[in-house]
Structure 1
């Protein structure tokens, strides 16, 4: 069997095509064409045709394309030297290519109008709905009640009991999904603030070791000062610990309040379910 040769993987073929491409672009450069009105348009046309024909594999099509490229080099060379017939021929070629491009674009627009829009898949619909929900909930509504103003005694429809969620130490009540964007931002900012304090705490522990070395050196040189280096670092470390403990205490109290809300919501949901069942049984008795 004959060996199948893929032109795009042939070094000789690639070298010939790239050499022709450079020659055509060189003819469209300011040094060769000057300020000719056809220079930019011709350069764009050369680039488009090479992108279109770069995947050709038919020997006859490749030969015709290379022949047309060599003829274009000669045509551009004669046009840049002032040949009027070649200049008119190049102008006709460019106008013809432009008209073909406009016709093709118009045909594509007509085809696009005839084709029915593709129905949105359920997954894409859910994704778009989630994006719209995040945009609507990017900011908290000014009249929105606090989450701690629960349980609500009067509701339209069946009561949905919230779920207490622990987001790495930050408690919040999840009413439904998807989660509001402003709630996600609040949780993220609290977690980043706590993590920054932890980073500062760890860095102060390292600084405390250096401060103790400074105090030892001051003691040896009898140049001790008040307050000492380690005392200042300890004060900063105690301040960071107090802030971390305070935020943890607030989160613990908030979690307890939210858990009490969940328990009360469960009790109200059970009572409402019992009342709903009694009403249904009473309605059935009346109908029978």
Structure 2
């Protein structure tokens, strides 16, 4: 399946403290509960802390069970139900749900977006993933804009605007009738044009990311070839000696010059590719998206 056809991944504001981000990311289903306004669903009823012990006390009186035993049973049941209420998984889920409600505006779920916006966000995520996982990025050769920080922030800003655009698309669809009375089209057109302009701007932003990613892929290929050539270049003296020992003098000099020229040409191609990748990154940052 084409990765671009898949729904986007969860997006979390990269400015959140790491410990909160990890908690939110670990339980997408809890984030969905918070988004739909659901609360903890638990079968534990606190009234049982009083009803059941009381019931056993009545049984004890009726059947003449010693009071000490009745008290022990009551305390045991209270302790048991209290432990059930405070069970570790329950506490963890409750804590994460509280975090999800507290930071409801700091994460974006796929279902927060309509289908076109989902696809656009997925494209942005795919491009950033390619860049961050590239060998040249990991080697620090193109990281002149601090990709590890800048690119997640870029995806977050795009996702925020897509969420707002999706909401306005839905609202627009409810307000504007499918069939307008004659002569009324012009009155509604500026609103439709505003939505179209926002979409065009965000789509252009994503294309910039994809252009950067394509250049990084190209640079990665050149980088891998360059590393192989560097490994050979380290053995250039051996090749030169081999030629000098086995080929006529004039031809030997020609081959030796070719070795040096090829190494220089490979380095030039690699440096040009790095420069092009950095230029693509620069184009992306010339019109930065800012936080609302």
- Greater RCO between the two (CA within 8 Å, min separation 6)? 2
Larger radius of gyration: 1
Same fold (TM over 0.5): no
What is the TM-score when the length of structure 2 is the normalising length? 0.31
Higher helix content, 1 or 2: 2
